[in-house]
Amino acid sequence: MEQHQPAPSFLVQLLHSVPHINITLHRVNDTFNPNSTIYIESLGILASIPAALLIISLVFLLLYLLTRCCDRKPRKHKSHGCQKCTLIFFAVVCCGAIGLGLYGNDDLHNGVLQIFGSGRKIEQLILNVRNQTEMVKHNLKSKVVLSELEQIFEQPPHRPNVTAHYMLHDSVKMAKDNTTLAINALETIVYLTRPAYTDITLKSLLDTYEFYEELRWPITLGFLTFLLLLCIILMIGATRSSRCALIFFSVCGLLAVTVCWLLSGIYLASAVALGDFCMKPNDFICSHPKLKDVQYTYCSTVGTNRYVLRLNESKVHVDRAKESLETVNGIGMDLYPGIQISSKVNKINGELDDSKRQLTALSVMLDRRTVAEHYADATRSLCEGGLLGLTLMLLASLVSAAILSLLVCVDSHTWIYLTKKRPGYEDKAETTPLFPAGTNASPSAPIIASGTMTVNRTLLHAQTATTNGATSGGGGGIGAGGIGATGTLIPSSGRNGTTRNARVCNL
C-alpha cells in the first residue's frame, strides 16, 4: 500500500517551483536528493546569487568612497540634516527586518524541537520493543521448561498403551519445538532492533542534529542582537553628530553586510532544499537504505512490517505449544493417573499465556497508525513551522543586507564631511592683523613687513604702555624740527605655533 503523502502547502509549492539549473544553465531534476552531485550543484548556484550581490555591493561601495574622498568641496552644516534623517529612517526599517529574523529564528527553533520530540518518541518505542522482546524471550527460555515432563513420561505408564504413549512423547516434542521456534522469532526481532555498524540509527541522527541546533540557535540570536545594537549606535551617532559612532558603524556595518549576504545564500539554498523535501517527504525517508529503524517501523506497508510479522509468528508458535500441552495433559492424566500432570501443565500454560499477552501488547505498540502519527507530527513541524521560520529568516537577511549596504554608504558620506572644520573656526581673539584694511596710518612711519603682519594684542598693549611711560619721564622725545622714529621687533605667535616678527613703531 502506498504511503500517505501530506498535501504540500503554498509555501512548499512556491519554494519547490524555484528553477534548479546546473552550471550550463540547464534545468535539472528538482526531486530532493542530497546524494546527487547535480542536485547539490543546483543548490550551490542558487546560493551564489546572494554572494554575487555581495560582490556588487562591495564594488559599488568602493567606487562611491573613492569619489567621496576626491570631493573636497566645502558643505554647509545644514546640508547634513537630510543625511541624518535618512540614516535614522532606514536604521528603524532595518531594526524591523532584524525583528522579523528573530521571529523566524524562534519559529525554526520550535519546529526543530518538535521534530526532536517526535523522533525521541519513536526511538523510545523501538527501545521498549527491544527490551520487552528480550524479557519475553528470557521467560520462554527459563520458565517454559518441559524437561520435567519428559522425565516423567520416560517411565512406564500405569496403564500401558503404546499408541497413546507414543502420541504423548510426540506432543511434548511438538510443544518443545514450538517454544523454540517462538524464541527464535523473538531473537530475530532483537537482531533487527540492533543496527549494524554501517547503519544510521535514529538516535545518532537526533544526537547530531540536536548538537548543531544547540549551536545554531544562540549564534543566530546573538548575531541578530548585534545588528540591533549596531543600528542603535548608528541612530545615536546620527542624532549627536558623533564621528566616532559613525565610523564604528562603517567598520562593523561592512562586516555585517558581508555576513548577511552570505547567510542569505545559505538560507536560500536551505529553504529551496526543504521545499523539495516537503513535496514528497516519505519518498526520501523510505528510500534511504541505512535507516533501518524508519523502514521497519514506518515504511513497511500493512502486513509487511518485519517486527509485527515476527511477533505474529511467535504468537502462532505459542498457541501451537499450548495446543500440544492440552493434548499432553489429556493423555498424561490417563496414562499416569497417580502423578499431578495437570498442575505441571497448567503452570507451563500460564507462562505461555503471559508471554502471549506481552506479544500482543508489542504488536499494538508497533501498530503502524501509532508510529505514523509520530512521523506525521515530525513532518508537520518541519514543513510548516520550520519552513516558515527559515523563509522569514531568508527575507530578513536579504532586506537587512540591502539596507545595511545603503546605510554604510550614507554613513560614510556623512562622517567624511563631519571631519572638515567649518569656516570661522580660528580664534580671532588670539591673532589680529596689525593694520586692518581701511585704517589710516601715519605717512611718516616706515612700514617694514615680512610675511603676514600680525601681532599679539597683549604684547602690543604692553609695548604701548612702555613707550608712553618713557615719553612722559624723559621730558619729551619730539624735537621742534622733526620727528624721530625707532622700530622694535616683537615676536608674535601665529596660527600654528610659529613665531613671526612684527615691527612696532615708537614715535
Long-range contacts (CB closer than 8 Å, 24 or more residues apart) made by 206-215: 206/116, 206/119, 206/120, 206/123, 209/112, 209/116, 210/116, 213/109, 213/112, 213/113, 213/116
Do both 53 and 135 map to the same domain? yes
Q: What is the C-alpha separation between 102 and 277, in angstroms, rounded?
A: 24
Report yes or no on 47 lying in a domain.
yes
Do both 158 and 196 map to the same domain? yes
- Among 207, 216, 189, 213, smallest CA distance to 120 is for 207
Average pLDDT for consecutive 10-residue bins of the chain (507 residues)?
Answer: 68 92 89 91 94 92 76 59 85 95 95 92 88 90 80 77 82 90 90 73 87 95 95 90 86 93 95 93 78 72 72 91 88 78 86 91 83 87 93 96 91 67 45 48 44 44 48 40 42 44 42
Chain CA centroid to CA 506, Å: 84
Residue 270: how many other CB atoms lie within 10 Å = 19
Residue 166: how many other CB atoms lie within 10 Å = 11
Report yes or no on 161 lying in a domain.
yes
Report yes or no on 186 lying in a domain.
yes
Q: What is the C-alpha separation between 476 and 478, in angstroms, rounded?
A: 6
Question: At 447, phi and psi to the nearest 5?
Answer: -110, 115
Q: What single-letter DSSP state applies at residue 56?
A: H
**Cβ–Cβ < 8 Å for 220, 108:** no
Do both 322 and 412 map to the same domain? yes
Q: What is the C-alpha separation between 350 and 327, in angstroms, rounded?
A: 16
**How distant, in Å, are the alpha carbons of 158, 171, 458, 487 from that of 437?**
153, 138, 21, 22
Report yes or no on 2 lying in a domain.
no
Q: What pLDDT was estimated at residue 382?
A: 92
Burial class (CB in 10 A: 0-12, 13-18, 19+), 73: exposed
Do both 311 and 165 map to the same domain? yes
Q: What is the C-alpha separation between 233 and 246, in angstroms, rounded?
A: 8
- Among 201, 178, 206, 207, smallest CA distance to 130 is for 201
Report yes or no on 5 lying in a domain.
no
Q: What pLDDT was estimated at residue 452?
A: 41
Do both 166 and 226 map to the same domain? yes
Do both 457 and 507 map to the same domain? yes
Q: What single-letter DSSP state applies at residue 490?
A: E
Domain count, the chain: 2
Do both 373 and 440 map to the same domain? no
Using CA atoms of 123, 125, 127, 132 in order, give the dihedral in degrees to the nearest 10. 180
Report yes or no on 455 lying in a domain.
yes
Q: What pLDDT was estimated at residue 329?
A: 85
| HEC string for 63-104 | HHHHHHHHCCCCCCHHHHHHHHHHHHHHHHHHHHHHHHHHHH
Do both 405 and 454 map to the same domain? no
Q: What pLDDT was estimated at residue 5?
A: 64
**Cβ–Cβ < 8 Å for 500, 431:** no
Which structural domain, as residue segments, surrounds residue 146?
10-418
Do both 403 and 486 map to the same domain? no
Q: What pLDDT was estimated at residue 459?
A: 46
Report yes or no on 313 lying in a domain.
yes
Bin 73: left if φ > 0, else alpha if -120 < ψ < 50, else beta: beta
Do both 62 and 191 map to the same domain? yes
Q: Which of 418, 441, 460 is at the close of a domain?
A: 418
Do both 359 and 462 map to the same domain? no
Beta bridge partners of 493: 499
Q: What is the C-alpha separation between 366 and 359, in angstroms, rounded?
A: 11
Q: What pLDDT was estimated at residue 241?
A: 80
**Cβ–Cβ < 8 Å for 298, 414:** no
Q: What is the C-alpha separation between 261 and 48, in angstroms, rounded?
A: 10
Radius of gyration of the chain (CA): 47
Contacts of 401 (CB under 8 A, 6+ apart): 50, 53, 54, 57, 257, 260, 261, 264
Do both 455 and 313 map to the same domain? no
Q: What is the C-alpha separation between 381 and 246, in angstroms, rounded?
A: 43
- Among 478, 491, 475, 494, smallest CA distance to 442 is for 478
Chain CA centroid to CA 443, Å: 86
Report yes or no on 3 lying in a domain.
no
Q: What is the C-alpha separation between 377 and 119, in angstroms, rounded?
A: 9
Q: What is the C-alpha separation between 298 and 285, in angstroms, rounded?
A: 9
